[in-house]
Amino acid sequence: MDDSTRAINMEKRRQRILVVARTTIAREGVDGLTVRKLASEAGITVPTIYNLIGTKDDLFRRLLDELVSRAEETLSEVEEVDPIEATARVVRTLATLFAEDEDFCRAALRAGQGLERSGRGNGALRIWQRSAQVANRICIDAANAGLLRGDCDPVRIAERAFDSYRIAAIDWLDKVIDVSEFERNALIGFYLCLAADAVPRFRRALMSRIAEVDSDAVRPKARARYSRS
């Protein structure tokens, strides 16, 4: 067997390990994953897992890092100028990502946050930190566009808006709500924070969008336009 064939086979086994590990975490949580169980379900020996990936912690960190990197990538693609559409893009891109494998994402992020708090994390909180940065940008852009009255510092509005988003995320992680309810609650909370300081026309647009989200109406694709009045 030449080196290229050997490398291809090793990568196939590595991906098999990751797929089975992801399925196990989704089904039983991170605590339910053991190297011995993983080897049995993947049809691979324990030494092979250690050789190809490493320990259970190494395996979990790799899966978590892939999830976090995908989330950061989706957040970095938010370029909408319109604050209503930018907010929707932030929340919906994450909700869509989480919905692809909700049980795994929930279990992985909960375990990742535990690692962060113990000082052994590898960046699980980057998702929320990046989300806070985007929220800050949205509110500042809204202020610069004349859509906010200026009675409140847009940075403070962003902090409260992100709090609404964070609470929705915590409820989702704790299985109080599902991913669709996370999307709804995060959007409405963010829009209400913007509405508190919005100029009249922008406030009407925000309240209209809130009613739309709340009733699960079909969302218009066209961007709203606002005056400075």
Q: What is the pLDDT of residue 117?
A: 60
**Domain ranges, residue 32:** 3-54
Q: What is the pLDDT of residue 206?
A: 96
Q: Is there a single domain that holds both residue 159 and residue 94?
A: yes
Q: Is there a single domain that holds both residue 90 and residue 173?
A: yes
Q: Is there a single domain that holds both residue 18 and residue 101?
A: no
Low-confidence residues of the chain: pLDDT under 70? 1-3, 78-80, 114-125, 216-229
CATH number for the domain spanning 17: value is: 1.10.10
Asked if residue 221 belongs to a domain, the reply is no
Q: Is there a single domain that holds both residue 37 and residue 80?
A: no
Q: Is there a single domain that holds both residue 188 and residue 83?
A: yes
Q: What is the pLDDT of residue 78?
A: 67
Residues facing residue 198 across a β-bridge: 148
For residue range 26-45, list pLDDT tens digits in order.
899 888 889 999 999 988 89
Per-residue DSSP letter, 224:
P
Q: Is there a single domain that holds both residue 133 and residue 35?
A: no
Q: What is the pLDDT of residue 217?
A: 44
Q: What is the pLDDT of residue 127?
A: 78
For residue range 44-88, list pLDDT tens digits in order.
899 999 999 998 888 888 888 888 888 888 777 766 678 999 999
- Helical H runs in 101-216? 102-117, 126-144, 154-173, 179-195, 200-214
Asked if residue 225 belongs to a domain, the reply is no
Query: Which long-range contacts (C-beta less than 8 Å, at least 24 apart) are formed by 97-103?
Result: 97/67, 97/70, 97/71, 98/172, 98/179, 98/182, 99/179, 99/180, 101/22, 101/26, 102/178, 102/179, 103/26, 103/27
Q: What is the pLDDT of residue 201?
A: 96
Q: What is the pLDDT of residue 131?
A: 84
Asked if residue 79 belongs to a domain, the reply is yes
Q: What is the pLDDT of residue 220?
A: 43
